[in-house]
Chain A
C-alpha cells in the first residue's frame, strides 16, 4: 500500500523537485521574471481567501437553518443544497455565463447582463457557490457530532434567547468544524481549474492553475515548462503551509468528536413556528445559483443560434446532433471506462488502507492518503507527466494513474469513517461464536460496511467522470476524455455545441447518481439511526 502511494504521489513530487533543480537552476531568473507570473500567484491566493470567506459562513448558515426538522420542504432543500456537487464545476461556470453573461439568458429576456462575470468577481462568486456544499457538509457533520440539541436546550432553560444560544453555544461548538471547512475550501480553491479557465481566462484573469495549463498545452518554450513545474510545486507548498499547522492544531479536536445522530424530533427552536422565510431564502438562493444557470444552459443547447430568444419557435436539436460524433462517443466511452476502473480499484485500495490504518505500521499511510486530497490536481498531473510521461505518454493509463492518486482520499474517507463506527464488540462476538477472522470479516464487517463501500465507489466514479483539471494536462491524441472534449469545445467558442455537451455531461452524472440514490432508498442500505441517541422519552 505504501508502495502504491509512493509510486503515484511521492515519486512524482521528488522528480519534479529534481527537474526544477537541474533544468531551472541556470535560468531561474528568466523564469521568475516572466510577465504575469506574480499576478497569477496573487490571483490564486486572493481567490482562495475570498472564496473561503464567502463559502464557509454560507455553508454554516445553511447547516444551522436546515437542521430544523420542521422546516417546510426540508427534504427538497437538502437535496437542492447538495445538487451542485453533482454538477461538474466546469458546467456550473459555463452555465453562469449562459445565464448572466452578455448574450445570455437574462440579457435576452430582460436586457440585463453582468459585465464583470468574465473576470475575478464572476470567478469568485461561482467558485464560492461550488464550494458551499462542501462547507455545508463539514458544518452539518460538526453540528451533528458536537451540538446536541440538549446543549442548546440547556442554554434556553438557563435564560438565553435563540440569538444568544447561537452566539454563545452553537457557533463556539462549530468552531473546529468551521476551521476544518475553511482549510478544505481554501486548499481546494487553490487547486481549482475549470471555473477560472472557462470564466476568467478569456478576459486575461489567470490563476496558477490556468497558467500551468497555458504553459503546458500552449507553449513549446522550455522556460514555460520549468515555470509550470515551479508553479505546481508552489501550490503544494502553499497547501502544506496552510494544512500542516491546522492539522496539528485541530486534528485531535476534530477526531475526538462523538458520533451522534441528528435530532429526530425538534431542535431548540422553542415553541414558535419556523419562519417560512428561511425556506424562501434558501430556495431563492438555489434558484439563482443553480436552477436558473442550468435552465439557461439547456435553453442555449436547444436554441438554434446565440442571440435568438430561447422560445419554442427557435428550438432545435441540431446542437445535440452536431456533437454526437464518433470521436465524442469514443471519448465518452473512454471516460466511463476510466471512471469505472478508477472507482473499482480505489474502493479496494481504500478498504485496504482503512484496515491497515488500524495497525501501528499503517498509520502513516492514512496520513499520506490525506495528503493526496490537498495536493492540487495540476501538481499531480505535472508530476506524473514528467515521471511516467516517457512510457505512458499519450495513453489513457496515465490519466487512470492520476485519478487513482487524486481520488484516493475520496474512497478512503467514507470507508475509514465506517470502519471507525463499527462497534468493536461485534467482531469479538463473532470470533467467540466460532468465526475465523476471514469469516468474521465477511459475515459481520462487510455487511455494515456496504453502504460506505457503495458511497465511496459512487463518489469516485462520478468525480472521475467529469475530472478535467488533470485530464486536460495529460490527454494526448486518442486519449481525450469527455470532459476534455467539452473544455476544448468551449475554447473554440462553439456556444451551442458546448452547451449541448455540458448538458450531456451533467445528465451522464445525474443519471447514475439518481439511480443509486433511488436504489439505496429502495434497499434501505443506509445504516439504521442509532436508537441510543434519542433523548426524548
Chain B
C-alpha cells in the first residue's frame, strides 16, 4: 500500500512496436516536485501522457495516491484519474473564452455554470489575468494563453500536476515570470507535480528531485545537487550543464566550468573567450584536454594568451559511460 502521489512500477510503453518507455520505476511523494529532464524524443511526454491516461502501458503499472490506475490489462480513463495537466502547446479550446476554459473542470465536477464561472474568475484574478476573462485563445499572447492553461489545471483541484514543457513555447523574458507564477501556485496547492523539460537550468531550479531520461530509460534519479555534482556518466553530465572532460593518469574526470578558476600553479593557453553578461567563459587548451572555465565579470584575457589556472573540484568517471563515477577532491596532474 503506497501513499505516494505517484508510483510507476516497471512501466513500459510502445508505439506500434517501437519502445517509447522501458522499465521505468519512479515515485513522487505527496507534495513533492519532480523534474523529468531529457532531450526531445527521450520519452518525457509519453511518460506524462501515460500517467494522465492517454496511452496504455505495455507492461508495468501506474499508481496514483495508493490506487492502481493503469496496467496492461486496462485502466481508469483520464477523467477519473484526478490529475491536472498543463500542455506544451497550451491546448486551449478555440471556441471557449478564458473564463469558460478555466470553468470547464468545475463544470465537469458537477458545479452549475454560475458557480463554476465564479470559481474560475477567482483563479484568473489570482493569476492576474482577470481582465482577459472574455477573450478567446486567438486574442491572447503566448504567455497569457499559458496562464489560462495553468488556471485550467488549478481548477482541477488535483493531487498531482503534470507539466509537459509548459515554458517551451514562451519567449525568454515571459518564461521566467510564468515559471515563478507556476511554482508559487503549485506550492500553494500543496500538490505533487511532475515537470517535464529539456532545459537543465529549469529542471535543477524547480524540482526537489530530478529524473534524467534517455531513450525511454531512467538514467539517474537524485536531488538537483546530486545529479549536477555526481552525474553517472558524461552524457548525464552534459544534459545537466556544461562540463569538460580531462584525461589524467587516474582516468577521465569531469570538471564543471565553476570547478576551476584562473590564477594558480598550472598553465594553459586560451583557445577562445566568450562574454556572457554576468560572467565570461574561457576555453583552455590544457595538456589533459580542453577545459571550460567560468569567471565573473568581463573578459580579462584574449584568445592566444597563456594563463595560469587551478582545479578546485572534479568528479571521476570510470571511462565507460553508464558506470558510476567516483568523487575525487583533487587531480594528480603530470607536472
Contacts and interface: CB of A to CB of B under 8 A. Distances in A.
Contact of B52 (A157, A175, A265, A266): A157
Contacts of B108: 158-160, 164
Contacts of B83: 157
Q: Which residue among B40, B49, B84 has the maximum number of chain A CB atoms within 10 Å of its CB? A: B49
A158 B84 CA distance: 7
A265 B17 CA distance: 12
Contact of A153 (B42, B74, B84, B91): B91
A537 B93 contact: no
A537 B43 contact: yes
A536 B43 CA distance: 8
A151 B109 CA distance: 19
A261 to B, nearest CB: 14
B156 A157 contact: yes
Nearest to B71: A271
Interface string A143-179: 0001010110111111111101000110011010000
Contact of A154 (B53, B87, B95): B87
A271 B70 contact: yes
A162 B94 CA distance: 19
Interface residues of B, number: 44
Contacts of A146: 94
A532 to B, nearest CB: 10
A161 B79 contact: yes
Given A268-B54, A271-B75, A537-B45, A158 B104 contact: yes
A interface, how many residues as a size bin? Answer: 20 to 34
A48 B149 CA distance: 43
B56 interface: yes
B95 A266 contact: no
B77 A158 contact: no
Interface centre among A151, A161, A271 (most CB of B within 10 A): A271
A270 interface: yes
B79 to A, nearest CB: 5
B84 A173 contact: no
B55 interface: yes
B88 interface: yes
B152 interface: yes
Contacts of B54: 153, 156, 266, 268, 270-271
Which of A157, A162, A164 has the most CB atoms of chain B within a 10 A radius of its CB?
A: A157
Given A153-B49, A154-B93, A537-B43, A159 B109 contact: yes
B91 A148 contact: yes
A535 B53 CA distance: 16
Contacts, number: 106
A270 B77 contact: yes
Given A159-B156, A161-B77, A173-B94, A270 B53 contact: yes
A527 B15 CA distance: 23
B78 A153 contact: yes
Interface in A271-288: 271-272
A271 B53 contact: yes
A536 B53 contact: no
Interface in B143-162: 149, 152, 155-156, 162
Contacts of A168: 104
B89 A266 contact: no
B93 A162 contact: no
Interface string B44-77: 1110010011111000000000000010001111
B49 A160 contact: no
B15 A169 contact: no
Nearest to A146: B94
B41 interface: yes
B85 interface: yes
B95 A173 contact: yes
Interface in B163-182: none
Contacts of B52: 153, 156-157
B68 to A, nearest CB: 13
B224 interface: no
B93 A169 contact: yes
B105 interface: yes
Interface string B89-116: 1011111000000001100110000000
A272 B41 contact: no
Contacts of B84: 157-158
Contacts of A272: 74, 77
Given A271-B53, A537-B43, A537-B44, A154 B91 contact: yes
Of A162, A268, A537, most buried by chain B (CB within 10 Å of CB) is A537
A154 B15 contact: no
Nearest to B85: A157
A537 B46 contact: yes
Residue of B77, B83, B156 with most partner-chain A CB within 10 A: B77
17 contacts: A148-B91, A150-B89, A156-B77, A156-B78, A157-B78, A157-B79, A157-B84, A157-B156, A157-B162, A158-B79, A158-B156, A161-B77, A173-B95, A265-B55, A266-B54, A271-B70, A272-B77
Interface of B: 15-16, 20, 40-46, 49, 52-56, 70, 74-79, 83-85, 87-89, 91-95, 104-105, 108-109, 149, 152, 155-156, 162, 196
Given A154-B87, A158-B152, A175-B95, 17 more contacts: A150-B87, A154-B85, A154-B92, A155-B93, A157-B156, A158-B105, A158-B155, A172-B93, A172-B95, A173-B95, A271-B55, A271-B77, A536-B15, A536-B45, A537-B40, A537-B41, A537-B42
